[in-house]
Amino acid sequence: MIRMILIVGTGGFLGTVSRFLTSRYFTTYFPSSFPFGTFVVNVLGCFLIGLIYGISEKGNFISSEWRMFLTVGFCGGFTTFSAFAAENMAMLRDSEFFNFFLYTGSSIFIGLLATFAGIMLTKIF
């Protein structure tokens, strides 16, 4: 059990640092009232988890430890629902209703589409 905690924790650390750097990049180079940083990491995280699950369904390409490291650890640390919720609340508070609906709808729709695309990509190869 300690081994699995360390595996997931290490993946979470790397995912969190990656999220921070990715979000910071988009916030710095694409300043906007639309939260592109969180949007990009969440959609990219959905795509990655789709790829990982698609690969793991194909056989024994990924061990259970690697699957936990990549999905629960890295992708769990990389994506962020709490920032998504906080950003939505800020948009509602600031009466940015268009951005609120655009962000919420596109995050859910494109996130699911990205997960599906990741899974389908693994079926092609």
Q: What is the pLDDT of residues 68-89, one digit of tens each?
A: 999 999 999 999 999 999 999 9
Domain residue limits, the chain? 2-124
Q: What dihedral angle (degrees, nearest 10) is formed by the CA atoms of 25, 12, 107, 85?
A: -90
Please give the span between the terminal C-alpha atoms of the chain, in angstroms, as a whole number: 34
pTM over 0.85: yes
Q: What is the pLDDT of residues 38-70, one digit of tens each?
A: 999 999 999 999 999 999 988 788 999 999 999
What average pLDDT does range 99-125 have in this prediction?
96
Q: Which helix (H) or strand (E) holds 71?
A: none
pLDDT score recorded for residue 125 = 79
